[in-house]
Structure 1
Amino acid sequence: MNTKHLFAAALAAVVASGCASNSKDISTQYVSPLQYKDYECDSLAMEMSRVSRRVGELQASIDKNAKQDKVATGVGLVLFWPALFFIDGDTPEAAEYARLKGEFEAMQTAASQKQCSIDVQQG
């Protein structure tokens, strides 16, 4: 393999690693269900609904950011390398998204332990 191909492959790997993740690729952060042990079923349902709405908002924003990064990467690699400077990578929204997914799962566990009948879907 000649030096140009090696350099191009290395550059593509570095650029791709800086791209923002899709929401489906962001791991859930662990949150203990113990923090919800004193919640009543109604309170859990309201909190799960609130978290679910925010997860949906973040999911849309994260996926939009990931798509924009992929477009900038494609343009940068093919046509105009300064476009690579517009790649944002993961934003603080990704960390909030992972945490809220964990909170939602913790609330589901707490609701199950309390035998609550709650039908709220995540995001």
Structure 2
Amino acid sequence: MKKVLLGSALAVMIVGCASSPDKIQTSYVSPMQYKNYDCDQIAGELGRISHRANELHGNLKKTADNDKAQMALGMVVFWPALFFLEGGDGPEAAEYGRLKGERDALEKAAIQKKCDAFITPKPAIPIKEAADGNKQQVSGVEE
């Protein structure tokens, strides 16, 4: 009997929790959809998509964090409450995955059209500006 209850609780934990936005898979979107866009249109669309994706990222992270807290409380205090976790990945998660795919497609379209001014890679070595205005490379160890 204990094994059945433990197995049921474990299944609820795995299925019932919302995914962290970092673990939501990117949906494929073809860059051909943006073949008629010029660089300005690509930049505008990237801005719109990034804004909405950032909103969704915050909402999804909050939902996942709430589910983790409910899970911890349920495990410690009253495990049958785990059956009532509302979590799970809903329409916001699907939209977030699609937006990630659209962003990737727009970036590919921008590269194909040589609009690389809109896509700025992260620097390999972070640079910190000192109080005197001189820029220094950061070694990774905070002082």
Return the TM-score normalized by structure 2: 0.75
Pick from 62, 72, 75: which aligns with 1:77?
Answer: 75
2:60 partner SS:
helix
Equivalent residue for 2:44? 46
Per-residue CA deviations over 1:5-27 (Å, capped at 9, x if unaligned) read 45314422332222100011101
Q: Would you say the 8 A contact 1:16–1:73 is kept in 2?
A: no
Cα distance in 1 for residues equivalent to 2:50 and 2:120: 8
Cα distance in 2 for residues equivalent to 1:17 and 1:114: 43
Q: Would you say the 8 A contact 1:44–1:111 is kept in 2?
A: yes
Per-residue CA deviations over 1:53-91 (Å, capped at 9, x if unaligned) read 111111111011011111112222221233541332112
Aligned residues: percent identity?
45
Q: Aligned pairs, how many?
A: 119
Cα distance in 1 for residues equivalent to 2:91 and 2:64: 13
2:119 maps to a residue whose letter is D
Report which of the two has the higher share of strand: 2
Q: CA-atom RMSD, angstroms? A: 1.8
For structure 1, which runs of at least 5 residues remain unmatched after alignment? none
If asked which structure has higher relative contact order (CA below 8 Å, sep 6+), I would say 1
1:16 partner SS:
helix
Return the TM-score normalized by structure 1: 0.87
After TM superposition, the structure 1 stretch with the greater mean CA deviation from structure 2, 111-120 or 21-30, is 111-120
Equivalent residue for 1:24? 22
For structure 2, which runs of at least 5 residues remain unmatched after alignment? 122-143
Larger radius of gyration: 2
Report which of the two has the higher share of helix: 1
2:25 maps to a residue whose letter is S
Going from structure 1 to structure 2, the CA distance change for 1:87 and 1:70 (only over 3 Å counts) comes to farther
**Residue correspondence of structure 1 range 47-62 to structure 2 within 5 A:** 47-62=45-60
1:91 maps to a residue whose letter is G
